[in-house]
Copies of this chain bind each other. A is one copy, B any other.
Amino acid sequence: MTASHDIDHTHDPALRSWVASANTPDTDFPIQNLPLGMFRRAGTTGSFRPATAIGDQVLDLIGAAELGVLSDALGAVLRTCEGMGLNPLMSVGPDFRRQLRHELVAALNADAGPTSSQTLAPALTPLADVELTLPCRISDYTDFYTGIHHATTVGKLFRPDNPLLPNYKWVPIGYHGRASSIGVSGQTFRRPVGQTKAPDAETPSFGPCKRLDYELEVGALVGTGNESGQPIAIGDAERHLFGLVLLNDWSARDMQAWEYQPLGPFLAKSFATTISPWVVTMEALAPFRRAFTRPDGDPRPLPYLDSPANREQGAIAVQLEVHLQTRAMRDAGEAPTKLMCSDFAESYWTVAQMLTHHASNGCNMQPGDLFGSGTQSGPTPEQGGSLLELTQGGKQAITLPNGEQRTFLQDGDSVALVGRCEAPGRRSIGFGPCIGTVAPAVTG
């Protein structure tokens, strides 16, 4: 049985594609990546179809199958994805997905030559000319809290002497999130309105959020699920995972502070969540696996969350960044400014542990279920994955290159998450854009 960590010829850094733009060093989508998503030609109203991104092009996978480039079995599964998302492909498991990767590499690599490029030309559309939507139907969305630096910094704001709660190093803490308001990169959402209560106020008030924030997260999508009552062993978890996206867990801090006791965040989060449209598959991530380590003295995970494979390569190195572009910057043609960077390999729990823990009580997972990783802050104060952290709870504004200041987000602000995997001797791959924009609140 092949494992999703396994490296094969599709990861060869020397591989090049006849799609020339896939061979430039800075592309997110070289032939070693081949992320999966759902597209249609911009300006049309047809159904969305499964696709991969290669350089600056989108390859229609049903089209590729019709052109005889993919096997019949794959073509049949891909056709069932049309108009509904990648869920059917997710449900058939990792071996099918690996086969798709191998067939795509065979068709798209430079050695496939002019015949292949002529054959596939009708199935390619420039990325600039397509509309992308959510990669799958997300039945359930769960947000974890695996960023220990985030949990520590935020905990300090409330409990200076005891920032991490006693369960943190034992339990992959998570909570159910709202699925209906998950949108894809490009999402513009209204500033939420809600109840807040100032510390010195007698009663709460109702109005637009004043402390609107982003959270830098990685999203993991479930491939095959499990039956109710049947947990997923840690050794099997990787085979149930489909791939990763970037995820922005927009947060209304003032609403959160007032509402979250005793049952957790609710309206402070449910107004919008943005993910990137391209799923970087577990296979594409194989060269970027890392040992799962913890600081000396921290407890070893309980046996149900521990396995040799998880220890040896459970972590995934994704270089993460947050970029902010205000309306003034956009109007002046100024590029977004980088606010921070961190590494997903520092997550306190692995994606396999998140899945195994989630199913450990018998809860049934379904293809397309989404897990947020929790905010991925780095260890230093400059590496906060949210404005709450970067501004010390709104006390210390950050100054942008154009002189503007921010404690929290203002209307018109766009936040872009960036994710890129790099390793010595390996072709770098990226996640593509994950951008969301704040529109003014609806009031009155």
Contacts and interface: CB of A to CB of B under 8 A. Distances in A.
Interface of A: 139-140, 142-143, 145, 165-167, 170-171, 173-181, 183, 189-190, 192-195, 197, 203-206, 228-231, 252, 255, 258-268, 270-272, 299, 302-304, 357-358, 360-366, 369, 439, 442
Given A203-B299, A263-B264, A264-B263, A363 B167 contact: no
Number of copies: 2
A190 B266 CA distance: 28
A174 B266 contact: yes
Q: Give the secondary structure class of A's interface.
A: loop
Given A193-B361, A228-B181, A261 B167 contact: yes
B259 A167 contact: yes
Contacts of A268: 361
Contact of A263 (B175, B203, B205): B175
Contact of A189 (B229, B267, B299): B229
A175 B263 CA distance: 6
A197 B170 CA distance: 10
B361 A194 contact: yes
7 contacts: A173-B263, A176-B266, A193-B231, A193-B361, A228-B271, A231-B442, A260-B264
A175 B173 contact: no
Contacts of A304: 206
Contacts of A142: 266
Given A205-B302, A229-B271, A264-B265, 15 more contacts: A143-B263, A170-B195, A171-B259, A176-B178, A176-B266, A179-B179, A180-B369, A181-B363, A189-B228, A204-B302, A229-B442, A267-B363, A270-B363, A271-B361, A271-B363
A368 to B, nearest CB: 11
B262 A180 contact: no
Nearest to A369: B180
Contacts of A173: 259, 262-263, 266
